[in-house]
Amino acid sequence: MAQQQKTLRPQGEKPYGFSIAGWAAAGVSVLVLLCCMTLAIADGTIYLRAMVPNETETPFYPDITKPDEMSSASNASNVNDDEERLLVLLAEEDTDSAYAVVNNDQRWRVVRMRVTAYCPCSKCCGKFSDGVTACNHRIQWGDVFVAADKKYRFGTEMIVPGYNDNQPVKVMDRGRVIKGDRLDVFFNAHAVAQKWGTRTLDVLVREN
């Protein structure tokens, strides 16, 4: 009994009690735990917002026309544009003869060309200044014709705005730099050819 009494707590002391410092430490631990949980929830919310796309920023994709519909619409537009350019060209030139030529033959088409000019002198023709064109036509004073690329056969008729009073002329020559949709109109005098310069024109070409 004497040994057991030595192990007993002194009389009047509260059993299992905590000091003020202990309670304070426990409170701080709880606050730290709550702060950590709050930060974790906030981080998770931010992460989810970053992962989920914003519906208001979703791009709008309009309906796309089917390829065959686009092709047919484009072809129709090109035809209408060519016809409109042809009518505007003729209206601006205001030549009754040009109207008559085109209206009586539906094989005319509009080609956008870079048009320069030349004469039969050595400055323009170099070693080919012998007075004979590529189709063996011997040049005469007052001749009017054009030099064009090989895709336009000799004899192909063209109406070049501002040249030969807008009357049809034929392809009768070639040129070393006259390739593709390049065209050279012929003048007898070098000064007149220089005055022409370089022009970008809608040329009427008659299909053979």
Q: Going by DSSP bridges, is the β-strand pair 199-206/108-118 parallel, antiparallel, or unpaired?
A: antiparallel
Buried b (16+ CB within 10 A) or exposed e, 83-94: eeebeebbeeee
In a domain, 141, yes or no: yes
What is the rounded CA–CA span in Å between residue 171 and residue 169?
7
Residue ranges making up the domain that contains 165: 77-206
Q: Could you give the number of structural domains in the chain?
A: 1
In a domain, 162, yes or no: yes
In a domain, 27, yes or no: no
What is the rounded CA–CA span in Å between residue 90 and residue 109?
12
pTM for the whole structure: 0.54
pLDDT band at 77 (very low <50, low <70, confident <90, very high): low
In a domain, 31, yes or no: no
Percent of the chain with pLDDT over 90: 43
The DSSP code for 162 is: T
In a domain, 30, yes or no: no
**Cβ distance 182 to 163 under 8 Å?**
no
Q: Is the dihedral angle over the CA atoms 169, 171, 175, 179 positive or is it negative?
A: positive
- Which residue has better confidence, 169 or 40? 169
Q: Among 87, 107, 119, 86, which Cα is nearest to 202's?
A: 86
CA 15 to chain centre: 90
Take residue 84 and report the two structure tokens written for it. Answer: 């409109």
Cβ burial, residue 110 (10 Å; 0-12/13-18/19+): buried
In a domain, 43, yes or no: no
**Residue positions counted in the chain:** 208
In a domain, 26, yes or no: no
48 phi and psi angles, rounded to 5 deg: -65, -40
pLDDT of residue 108: 87
Which residues does residue 117 pair with via DSSP β-bridges, in sequence order? 185
DSSP-derived 3-state class of residue 119: coil
pLDDT of residue 34: 72
Mean pLDDT score across all residues of the chain: 74
Stretch among 28-42, 98-112, 126-140 having the lowest mean pLDDT: 28-42
In a domain, 150, yes or no: yes
Task: Determine the average pLDDT of the residues in 102-119.
Answer: 85
Q: What is the CATH number of the domain that holds 139?
A: 2.40.40.10
- Which residue has better confidence, 60 or 196? 196
pLDDT band at 29 (very low <50, low <70, confident <90, very high): confident
pLDDT of residue 22: 67
Q: Which H or E element spans position 6?
A: helix 2-7
